[in-house]
Amino acid sequence: MQETFIQEKTFDRNDLLTKGEYESCTFNNCNFADSDLSEFKFIDCTFNGCNLSLAKLKKTVFKNSYLQETDSAETDLTNAVFDSCNLTQAIFDHTVGFPFLVRVKSRI
């Protein structure tokens, strides 16, 4: 099965995502609470005011992405990767799978 590839698209509020790779996309106030985003890839993406609490992010890759002030409380981050991401003031309270992989260039 071929993986979905989406580039330079803006998602708002309750837009649904299909498993795949997202490049240079913007997510505005999206509610991904309790969603399964396992094995998704987010490359050069921006998350503005998004809720990822209680989400499953197993093996999910975030690369060169902006997740500042994103709520990721109680998420499953087993084998998740944050490579060169801005995680300033992101919330990771009570996550599962911590410590996840954060590459050196990421800012927490």
The rounded mean pLDDT for the chain is 89
* Whether residue 2 has pLDDT greater than 80: no
Taking CA atoms, 61 is separated from 2, 21, 65, in Å, by: 18, 9, 10
Interatomic CA distance for residues 22 and 46, integer angstroms: 11
Q: Tell me, what's the pLDDT at 103?
A: 56
> With bands split at pLDDT 50, 70 and 90, how would you rate the model's confidence at 104?
very low
Q: Tell me, what's the pLDDT at 73?
A: 92
* Whether residue 99 has pLDDT greater than 70: no
Q: Give the pLDDT confidence of 18-58 residue by residue, as tens digits.
A: 999 999 999 999 999 999 999 999 999 999 999 999 999 99
Q: Does 19-31+39-108 carry CATH code 2.160.20.80? A: yes
Collapsing DSSP to helix, strand or coil, 26 comes out as strand
Interatomic CA distance for residues 20 and 96, integer angstroms: 23
* Whether residue 101 has pLDDT greater than 90: no
Q: Which of 101, 62, 69 is nearest to 85 (CA)?
A: 62
Q: Tell me, what's the pLDDT at 58?
A: 93
Interatomic CA distance for residues 82 and 66, integer angstroms: 10
Q: Give the pLDDT confidence of 60-71 residue by residue, as tens digits.
A: 999 999 998 899
